[in-house]
Chain A
Amino acid sequence: MNLPKLHGVHVPHRKNTADMAPVRMPVPPSVTIPMNMHIGAPAECVVKVGDTVKVGQLIAKAGGFVSSPVYASVSGKVKKIDDMLMSSGRFMKAVTIESDGEQTPFEGIAPPAVTDFPSFINAVRDSGVVGLGGAGFPTAVKLGVKDLSQIQAVIINGAECEPYVTSDTRTMLDDAEWIGKGIALLQKYLLAKRVVIGIESNKPQCVKAMQALAGGMTGVEVMALPPLYPQGGEKVLIYNTTGRIVPEGKLPLDAGAVVINCTTLAAIAKYIETGMPLVEKVVTVDGSAVAEPKNVIAPIGASMQALFDFCGGFKSDPGKVLYGGPMMGIAVPNTDFPVMKNTNAILAMDEKDATLPEPTACIRCGSCVDACPLRLMPAAIEAAYNKRNVDKLRALHANLCMECGCCAFVCPAKRMLVQTNKLAKGLIAADNAAKKAEADRKAKEAAEKAEKEAAVK
């Protein structure tokens, strides 16, 4: 393919745990499971305090079309249902289950009957699986394509471009069989003609494992992609594997592509074969403050602290703790936060790594422009935001930004370009809302005036 290359940055890989097969942690005394571990409407709780639950039992049903059901990850008693602080800073209902340590599976666990496309999508919805790469978008909604002929290529995302994180690496190495079964399902029900597995070439063992898998299937190809962050970004991956461009404000399907993370796909295949919904996750526990970095199999809802304790605790005081990788991960104020469906890693950085560099004046070096995979001008967006110039922000396509962090990573002046771009998006949204309110008010006035005139006549 002779297409212009997208920009990106060379981040340090730090895949310290790539060779460590996941280890199951002991059942924690209790788990706290929030109702919004996905994008969309929160799930609706169906248990009450005092109920006895078993592993894989439904505790909350999907709260709408774009939503996902939630299942108990431990067996035991529902101790508490109340609001908890989420990493977004908002409060959300969460179910706390006191574990009995038995991990008794729910009696109702049975493989779903999947015979056609609608029953496949229903099974995906019931599996509780959401985008496990980090985004948490309900997979049933993503796969629920109305017109299957639109799909030119299904892309399995095994890029895993974030530093430290190796949970997808482990899926490709340990669960290749499940990925294969998942691909077979996509070929059967989504009629996927071309399946591409995209992997950064810094994981040769994964490329090999997937090539072995693809060798035994038809219509499946493995692409080793350059390890240039953000290779795993949806738009970037689609472009680098198919050459297609997702237009601004449109979905991957508009470019003929469906992208699904490799761990997500394996989880769906597991549910359809065993009937056990998503109740546990492989989580990479790493970072400069962690004594013994590991890949941990953790029940959803286990506290970060329980995982860190399982990894030998901290070797130095943590200064910052993250959900996810260091490029796009979310910092949390304490280690009581739970493992969620879309948690692929938790990192604890020591004080030195956590110290924020002091921003200095922009020297207009253009590094951010050279780094941006979407060819935006981060420094210009920052300047426009500082002047609160909404029209200029629109002209600079600030809303296109995927917040991958390349610009802030390379900036020699250590400007907080991602933070500013987030604020810029907020400013555009507020302006859109204000304009809409104004238009609505005018329409209402006009309608009232017309009504009065009609009454006079």
Chain B
Amino acid sequence: MKELLTSVSPHLRSGRTTQKIMGDVLIALCPALIASVVIFGPRTLLLTLVSAAACVACEYIWERLMKQPVTVTDLSAVVTGVLLAFNVPSTMPVWELIVGDVVAIICVKMLFGGIGCNFVNPALVGRVVMFFSFTADMTTFDAPAGTIDALTSATPLALIRDGAVGWSEFPQILLGVHGGVLGETCAVALILGGVYLCVRKVIKPIIPLAYVGSCMLFMWIFGSPQPVIAVFSGGLLLGAIFMATDYVTTPTTNTGKLIFGLGCGLLTALMRCYASSAGAVTFSILLMNLVVPYINDLTAPKPFGGVEAK
């Protein structure tokens, strides 16, 4: 008989893999992608595919050059690529988007050691770099196909501040038929994706709920005319469901996740009410990413029956 394998227990593993988790995230992003194609036209699809391909290529080339094992099959680069595409307007030049992809994968992910080692969300940093490098292209929002009124060409957030948006426009905001970046506009599709992730136990609903809830509350406290409508517009839902729930850059425990969500909500409300609403979600999540190690230290679980060493 051939030699038997001896290894340390357990000899039984669950079917969960990193690849399946990332696959679920991609499935959860599909409703938003479909909505975006409908709202902004087929160029959406082109940008999404190019961005995903660029991220995978960056990771692959880097790992080959560095003689590391190639990990692109875990699909995490695809997720980063899709999320980055979701953060640009439909008129964004392709090469500028690729710059964002390179920054996200090479500078933020691979230079820090690849998957699991980045301390901030790669897609968000990619977005920040594009935002400051190509400000005009990043903030010019094309009107959705076949519409001409004021709401559709400007982003609702700007209009909310001027008090120009009321409940009559709410259905339009929920469906996402208004100006904005690709993935952020259709609230219904994003929530659908979030529910899928929760049902599949890929994420817990703590961060999205804490983020959205606290942002609404703080915006109301800070005197925003439409705090409820505001959380359904701009990048808040995309950020709360898909960016603020990235495992690597968010706290481990439930208490930690709650603190993280509340912190994001407060920062976003502050920026939206007292500073520029553009990038408020991005910067809030990035700032909270930076304090995750401290939150983790503060909220570490107390071992069962653990006795502190003297």
Binding site for B on A (CB under 8 A): 6, 9, 11-12, 163, 235, 239, 245-250, 317-322, 326-335, 349, 353-354, 356-357, 360-367, 369, 373-377, 380, 394-395, 397, 400, 403, 405, 408-414, 416, 418-419, 422
Contact = CB atoms under 8 A, between A and B. Distances in A.
B13 A332 contact: no
B21 A365 contact: yes
B307 A375 contact: no
Contacts of B304: 6, 235, 239, 245, 373-375, 400
A140 B8 CA distance: 30
Interface of B: 1-14, 16-18, 20-21, 71, 74, 76, 113-117, 247-248, 252-253, 300-307, 309
Given A326-B12, A360-B74, A369-B253, A248 B306 contact: yes
B114 A369 contact: no
A366 B292 CA distance: 13
B307 A247 contact: yes
Contact of A322 (B11, B13, B16, B300): B11
Nearest to B116: A361
A227 to B, nearest CB: 15
B303 A374 contact: yes
A339 B136 CA distance: 76
Given A367-B16, A374-B303, A395 B8 contact: no
A359 to B, nearest CB: 11
Contact of A360 (B6, B14, B71, B302): B71
B9 A418 contact: yes
Nearest to A164: B12
B247 A354 contact: no
A334 B2 CA distance: 9
A367 B253 CA distance: 10
Given A331-B4, A405-B10, A377 B300 contact: yes
Given A366-B247, A408-B13, A395 B309 contact: yes
Given A317-B2, A362-B116, A412-B21, A397 B303 contact: yes
7 contacts: A331-B11, A360-B18, A363-B116, A364-B252, A374-B304, A397-B306, A400-B305
A412 B7 contact: no
Contacts of B10: 326-328, 405, 408-409, 418
Contacts of B14: 9, 409-412
A309 to B, nearest CB: 13
Main secondary structure, interface of B, reads loop
A320 B248 contact: no
Given A249-B307, A413-B18, 17 more contacts: A248-B306, A248-B307, A317-B1, A319-B5, A354-B5, A361-B114, A363-B18, A363-B21, A364-B247, A367-B16, A374-B304, A377-B300, A395-B309, A400-B304, A403-B9, A412-B14, A414-B13
B303 A376 contact: yes
A335 B252 CA distance: 43
Nearest to B257: A366
Nearest to A367: B16
B300 A409 contact: no
B55 to A, nearest CB: 16
> Which of B1, B3, B113 has the most chain A CB atoms inside 10 A of its CB?
B1
Contacts of A6: 304
Given A333-B6, A364-B116, A377-B252, A11 B12 contact: yes
A377 B10 CA distance: 17
A320 B4 contact: yes
Q: Please name the 4 residue pairs, one residue from A and one from B, whose CB atoms are nearest each other, closest first.
A: A405-B10, A326-B12, A419-B8, A366-B252
A333 B4 contact: yes
Nearest to A89: B6
A409 B13 contact: yes
A377 B247 CA distance: 15
Contacts of B303: 248, 374-376, 397, 400
A320 B21 contact: no
